[in-house]
Amino acid sequence: MAFEFKLPDIGEGIHEGEIVQWLVKPGDYVREDQAIVEIMTDKVTAEIPSPVSGVIQELRGKEGEVVKVGAVITVIDEKAAEGAVSAQPMAAATAASAAEVAAPAKTSVPKEAAVSAPSLPPTNGKAKSATAVMAPEHPAGKALAAPATRKMARQLGIELSMVQGSGPLGRITPEDLRRFQQAGPATTSRPTAVAQPTMARPAYQSGGEKRVPFTGLRRKIAEHLVKAKQTAPHFSYVEEVDMSRLMAVRDELLPIAEDQGVRLSYLPFIMKAVIEGLKKYPVLNSTLDENTQELVYKYDYHLGIAVATDQGLIVPVIKHADQKNLFTLAREISDIAGRARTGKLGLDDIKGGTFTVTSIGSIGGMFGIPIINYPEVAILGVNKIEKRPVVRNVGGQDQIVIRDMMYLSISCDHRIVDGAEAAHFVKDVISYLEAPSRLLMEEI
């Protein structure tokens, strides 16, 4: 009997997902609980297991296509026996695109050999959680790799369990790691950047062009940004901050933080100042409910922090930032940013933000103009700190002095926030940053 497999509800509030990759092809025999497709929803990727055993008759939907929850994505013939297993390499389309991605190196080996052979999940395997990034099946019950290969994975910042091995029993070879690193999010697996966020540099090639499917997280980011830009008329405002005193305060706290194992950046201070500003100018912590035509003021202060990862920008959220002290914020930033870079965020980690802070200055630049993380109504850009000559009144006389200066750049949804409010808000944030002892007053 043909079983129509509908895309199941894979997480709260998720009603559609993009097919990142088919893990099976028509003619394949699949067993119950075997992963058959990788679906990406709102920045989280999940492998969807088959609810039945049988032979795949038909796949509905191409890789890169967005499907709705409840739509039939594949038809499985439950009667068909295991004998119908096909030992062919991947479907032509996928094989071709894989080869393109891997150019100019030799055409990639049909790495899914292990997938097309039916394999049971390990008896002691982990429970499947639809909201987590799923690892490929490991026929041996764990990711097998020689010690030197495991070391190489650590050096490349790759989580071994995310790599599909090409060797017997799914053994992972150094070649698999290299392929994994190049392929990025288009494969079942995702690279991680524990050590440093390395961008795989494409090999130099003179002339011609290369086409890479625009799928996955990159496309999700693109859609999100287009919506933000098209829906919210942006305006931006930039002001400078004298960070000298805050730097002194941070230097004083550094050894204490270090002793407690806390990596203390400027961000937690800025978040504290932002929260004080939001308390005074609540419209910046609001959102527009377009269905009911109501402005929704949020009394939760969930601050998003933009984190650059190998696959693109992700904005994990620090919940209830107003209720947390400096070191707690610092700890949570390290934790959540780390998990963002290693692809270990859950759906909950990226939902519910009410205002976003984005650090722009790590590479350089005077300042950047950020795009709002829609449906939030404002985003604050934190730029680089540098020594600049400024005029200060010293002993009754104007003098040029050297101070540690930084630009703050804010973008707002002009439908909701006016320039004056934004300017007042920024001025308030600056007042805390320039006189950090004022933050003590507000410390809970």
Partner 1 sequence: MSNKTDVVVIGAGPGGYVAAIRLAQLGQRVTVVEKEVLGGVCLNWGCIPSKALIHAGSLYEKIQHASELGIMVDGLRLDMTKLQSWKDGVVKKLTGGIGQLFKAHGIETVYGTAAFTGPKTLAVKDSSGQTQTLEAKHFIIATGSSPIEIPGFAFNGENIIESREGLSWTSVPESMAIIGGGVIGLEMGTLYAKLGSQVSIIELAPDILAGSGIDAEIVQTLRRSLKKRDIQVHVNTKAKKAEVKNGKVHVEAEAEKGPIIMQVDKLLVCVGRKPNSQGLGLERAGVQTDKRGFITVDQQLCTSVPHIFAIGDVTAPPLLAHKASKEGLVAAAVIAGQNEILDYQAMPAAIFSDPEIATVGLSEEQAKAQGYNVKVGKFPFAASGRALSMNASDGMVKMISDAKTDLLLGVHMIGPDVSELVAEAALAIEMGATTEDIALTVHTHPTLPETLMEAAEAVHGMAIHIFQKEKPLAAAK
Stretch that binds partner 1, among 4-12, 138-146, 232-240, 418-426 (CB under 8 A): 138-146
- Of 83, 147, 207, 208, which one interacts with partner 1 (CB under 8 A)? 147
Whichever of 157 and 375 has its CB closer to partner 1, that residue is 157
Residue 148: helix, strand or coil by DSSP? helix
Minimum distance from CB of 206 to partner 1 (Å)? 35
Contact by Cβ (8 Å): 16, 65: no
Token pair recorded at residue 255: 């050894």
Is 302 among the catalytic positions? no
Minimum distance from CB of 245 to partner 1 (Å)? 28
Whichever of 155 and 323 has its CB closer to partner 1, that residue is 155
Pairwise CA distance, residues 337 & 344, whole Å: 10
Stretch that binds partner 1, among 117-125, 269-277, 287-295, 370-378 (CB under 8 A): 117-125
Which residues in 253-292 contact partner 1 (CB under 8 A)? 258-259, 261
Minimum distance from CB of 150 to partner 1 (Å)? 6
Minimum distance from CB of 144 to partner 1 (Å)? 3
Distance of CA 211 to the CA centre of its chain: 24
Pairwise CA distance, residues 163 & 152, whole Å: 13
Minimum distance from CB of 118 to partner 1 (Å)? 12
Residue 380 C-beta-side C-alpha neighbours within 13 Å? 30
Contact by Cβ (8 Å): 30, 118: yes
Pairwise CA distance, residues 335 & 333, whole Å: 5
* Spatial CA neighbour of 234 closest among 442, 41, 376, 36: 376
Whichever of 55 and 262 has its CB closer to partner 1, that residue is 262
Binding mask 77-116 for partner 1 (x = CB under 8 A): ----------------------------------------
Contacts of 312 (CB under 8 A, 6+ apart): 217, 218, 221
Pairwise CA distance, residues 97 & 351, whole Å: 33
Does position 150 interact with partner 1 (CB under 8 A)? The reply is: yes
Pairwise CA distance, residues 75 & 72, whole Å: 8
Whichever of 123 and 206 has its CB closer to partner 1, that residue is 123
Minimum distance from CB of 323 to partner 1 (Å)? 25
Minimum distance from CB of 183 to partner 1 (Å)? 21
Stretch that binds partner 1, among 20-28, 146-154, 201-209, 269-277 (CB under 8 A): 146-154
**Of the residues 15, 138, 234, 414, which is catalytic?**
414
* Spatial CA neighbour of 93 closest among 21, 27, 37: 21
- Of 80, 144, 267, 405, which one interacts with partner 1 (CB under 8 A)? 144
- Of 20, 145, 275, 372, which one interacts with partner 1 (CB under 8 A)? 145
Whichever of 160 and 439 has its CB closer to partner 1, that residue is 160
Count of residues in contact with partner 1, rule CB under 8 A? 23
* Spatial CA neighbour of 432 closest among 248, 254, 274: 274
Helix ranges, 105-173 (H) = 113-116, 147-156
Residue 40: helix, strand or coil by DSSP? strand
Whichever of 143 and 273 has its CB closer to partner 1, that residue is 143
Distance of CA 251 to the CA centre of its chain: 31
Strands (E), 182-262: 234-242
Pairwise CA distance, residues 100 & 176, whole Å: 17
Whichever of 119 and 431 has its CB closer to partner 1, that residue is 119
Whichever of 194 and 416 has its CB closer to partner 1, that residue is 194
Q: 10 Å Cβ neighbour count for 286? A: 22
Helix ranges, 39-79 (H) = none
Stretch that binds partner 1, among 127-135, 163-171, 274-282, 316-324 (CB under 8 A): 163-171
Pairwise CA distance, residues 95 & 77, whole Å: 25
Does position 75 interact with partner 1 (CB under 8 A)? The reply is: no
Binding mask 167-206 for partner 1 (x = CB under 8 A): -xx-x----------------------xx-----------
Pairwise CA distance, residues 93 & 117, whole Å: 19
Residues designated as active site: 414
Chain residues that interact with partner 1, rule: CB under 8 A:
120, 123-124, 139-141, 144-147, 150-151, 154-155, 157, 168-169, 171, 194-195, 258-259, 261
